């Protein structure tokens, strides 16, 4: 992946780069550079818009380091494990299922420990061809301590935001005025000490999640599909037979059993499309019974079929039942029950668990276009709503007051709350090329005519067409398009 054209541009333009480079780097950590930070922020804003505004969810922000009890109650201390093997000679660590998938081309979803052990017997260390160790369970959480000396307590960096949203449930239900259902979005960092992260942004040790927890009445997981009923999608149910079907029919035929889950699969699919992920590369996949996380009774993923990295899970939608709230009730001895519609019960949770880094990568792969022929161009065709900058402002030359006029236009657009970039270095052609590689939809050039008639040239990234526009009309022109 490091050598691909896409990756070269991401590094050169400052979208992302490996962290701690001057000290040799550590696998599984990436910095978001100036363009990447803006793009990532816009993805997070699109998620916030979808859930806090359109779905009326609350938003919450909790610490990333939390005491051991939370992770004992949730089951992560005992069960958040991957199967690992090491080379007995060179010590290279491998995640057992990934090693099998890469070398034997066998998908390990749902395979038990005995089957995994048998398959591993056929393999040697890919690096030095020596014997592999017996596979063993490896807990993915980063352990730490809070406080000094004998007062210190054991803590963990959270491996998911979800638990930190469940812990204050008693406060949240009051804010929801004791009514169900209600949803809570939390966007923040999560940490997993992944065994062998080799796939760039797809498998990080520190990453951003945007997880929405819907607290629902166990007897009511209904939801009208509305506009999503006619959405035609590629669906792979747990019977292994992939089909193309509308969400409405999938629900009617009980391929997807829970209306609430079907609705949110539609909502997530729509969001991915809006932020520039190629919908033709998306697929809904139901988890197999022995693949599902320990807390879930039904899980559906939306996956992206990447040209470079294969199948990438972008979001997981799970019915977590009352597993988590019950677990926290048991350990904390605090009641998580509610009284609703005359009944007393622990609410069920339906979770929409997005990562942000993986969609970030899939947007880049979906929007990247290499135009060949007479005019060679590398372009990111980002939708305007997520592009890092909406426009770039160029003075044709840096003399004869043209640069002063360009700065005036630049400041005017900034005062109109637009993310604009000023670039006066090199020829206009080179500046267009840089703007295309940054995915900037509009380039605005200030020239000698601007001094006479207050018009500028707007150049459209995708069509390369140009148009003369009054300075006062620039915002309307670029935001209305
Ligand atoms: N709370 C449920 C949960 O954490 P998950 O499927 O393990 O479920 C949810 O994670 C999402 O977080 C994934 O769909 C993925 O987008 C992202 N994610 C998980 N592990 C990741 C990693 N190591 N690097 C980058 N993103 C990751």
**What is the per-residue pLDDT across 6-35, written as a single tens digit (0 to 9) for each?**
999 999 999 999 999 999 999 999 999 999
Torsion angle of the four alpha carbons 255, 260, 262, 263, in this order, in degrees rounded to the nearest 10: 160
Give me the residues of the chain with pLDDT under 50, please: none
Q: Which residue has the least CA distance to atom 11 on ligand 1?
A: 355
- The label of the residue with tokens 């995994």 reads 116
The whole-number pLDDT of residue 113 equals 84
Burial per residue of 75-111, b for 16 or more beta-carbon CB atoms within 10 angstroms, e otherwise: bbbeebebbbbbbeeeeeebbbbbbbbeeeeeebeeb
Please say whether the beta carbons of 161 and 188 come within 8 A: yes
Q: Which residue has the least CA distance to atom 4 on ligand 1?
A: 160
Q: In sequence order, which residues have a C-beta less than 8 Å from that of residue 42 and are 6 or more positions away?
A: 275, 385, 386, 387, 388
Phi, psi of 231, rounded to the nearest 5 degrees: -75, 120
Strands 143-146 and 298-306: unpaired
Phi, psi of 52, rounded to the nearest 5 degrees: -75, -40
The whole-number pLDDT of residue 374 equals 81
If one counts every other C-beta atom within 10 angstroms of the C-beta of residue 194, the result is: 18
Residue 288: closest CA among 110, 112, 113? 110
Beta bridge partners of 445: 394, 457
Alpha carbon of 150 to ligand 1 centroid (Å): 35
Please say whether the beta carbons of 68 and 76 come within 8 A: no
Please say whether the beta carbons of 101 and 90 come within 8 A: no
Out of 98, 206, 209, 213, give the residue to mutate to test ligand 1, the one with the largest number of ligand atoms within 8 Å of its CB.
209
Tokens of 198: 């080799």
Is there an atom of ligand 1 within 6 Å of 188 CB? no
The whole-number pLDDT of residue 57 equals 98
Q: Which atom of ligand 1 is nearest to the CA of 301?
A: 14
Alpha carbon of 355 to ligand 1 centroid (Å): 5
The whole-number pLDDT of residue 481 equals 53
Out of 353, 359, 363, give the residue to mutate to test ligand 1, the one with the largest number of ligand atoms within 8 Å of its CB.
353
The whole-number pLDDT of residue 47 equals 98
Q: Which atom of ligand 1 is nearest to the CA of 194?
A: 23
* Dihedral sign from CA coordinates of 434, 440, 442, 444: negative
Alpha carbon of 68 to ligand 1 centroid (Å): 21
Tokens of 165: 């949203």
Cα 354 to the chain's mean position, in Å? Answer: 5
Tokens of 73: 């109650």
Out of 316, 317, 321, give the residue to mutate to test ligand 1, the one with the largest number of ligand atoms within 8 Å of its CB.
316
Is there an atom of ligand 1 within 6 Å of 194 CB? yes
Distance separating alpha carbons of residues 19 and 358, to the nearest angstrom: 17
**What is the per-residue pLDDT across 225-242, written as a single tens digit (0 to 9) for each?**
999 999 999 999 999 999
Q: Which atom of ligand 1 is nearest to the CA of 313?
A: 14
């Amino acid at each position: 992946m490091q050598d691909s054209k896409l990756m070269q541009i991401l590094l050169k333009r400052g979208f992302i780069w490996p962290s701690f480079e001057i000290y040799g780097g550590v696998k599984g950590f990436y910095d978001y550079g100036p363009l990447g930070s803006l793009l990532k922020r816009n993805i997070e804003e699109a998620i916030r818009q979808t859930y806090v505004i359109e779905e009326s969810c609350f938003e919450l922000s909790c610490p990333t380091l939390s005491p051991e009890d939370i992770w004992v109650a949730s089951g992560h201390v005992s069960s958040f494990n991957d199967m690992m093997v090491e080379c007995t000679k060179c010590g290279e660590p491998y995640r057992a299922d990934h090693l099998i998938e890469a070398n034997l081309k066998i998908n390990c979803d749902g395979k038990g420990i005995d089957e995994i052990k048998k398959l591993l017997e056929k393999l040697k260390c890919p690096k030095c061809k020596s014997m592999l160790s017996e596979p063993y369970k490896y807990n993915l959480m980063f352990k730490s301590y809070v406080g000094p000396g004998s007062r210190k307590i054991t803590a963990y960096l959270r491996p998911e935001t979800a638990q930190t949203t469940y812990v204050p449930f008693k406060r949240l239900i009051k804010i929801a005025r004791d009514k169900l259902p209600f949803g809570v979005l939390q966007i923040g960092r999560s940490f997993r000490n992944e065994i062998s992260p080799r796939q760039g942004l797809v498998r990080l040790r520190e990453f951003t999640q945007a997880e929405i927890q819907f607290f629902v009445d166990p007897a009511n997981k209904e939801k009208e599909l509305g506009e999503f009923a006619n959405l035609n999608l590629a669906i792979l149910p747990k019977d292994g037979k992939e089909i193309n079907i509308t969400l409405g029919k999938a629900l009617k035929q009980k391929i997807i059993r829970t209306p609430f889950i079907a609705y949110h699969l539609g909502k997530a699919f729509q969001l991915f499309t809006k932020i520039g992920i190629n919908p033709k590369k998306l697929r809904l996949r139901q988890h197999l019974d022995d693949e599902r996380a320990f807390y879930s009774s039904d899980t559906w993923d939306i996956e992206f079929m990447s040209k470079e990295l294969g199948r990438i899970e972008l979001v997981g939608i799970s019915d977590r039942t009352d597993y988590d709230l019950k677990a926290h009730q048991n350990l904390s001895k605090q009641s998580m029950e509610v009284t609703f519609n005359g009944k007393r019960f622990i609410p069920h949770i339906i979770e929409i668990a997005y990562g942000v880094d993986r969609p970030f990568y899939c947007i880049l792969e979906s929007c990247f276009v290499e135009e060949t022929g007479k005019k060679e161009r590398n372009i990111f065709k980002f939708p305007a709503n997520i592009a890092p900058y909406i426009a770039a402002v160029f003075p044709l030359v840096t003399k004869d007051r043209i640069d002063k006029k360009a700065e005036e236009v630049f400041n005017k657009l900034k005062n109109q709350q637009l993310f604009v970039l000023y670039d006066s270095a090199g020829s206009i052609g080179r500046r267009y090329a840089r703007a295309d590689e940054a995915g900037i939809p509009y380039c605005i050039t200030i020239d000698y005519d601007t001094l006479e008639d207050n018009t500028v040239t707007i150049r459209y990234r995708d069509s390369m067409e140009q148009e003369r526009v009054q300075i006062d009309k620039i915002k309307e022109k670029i935001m209305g398009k």
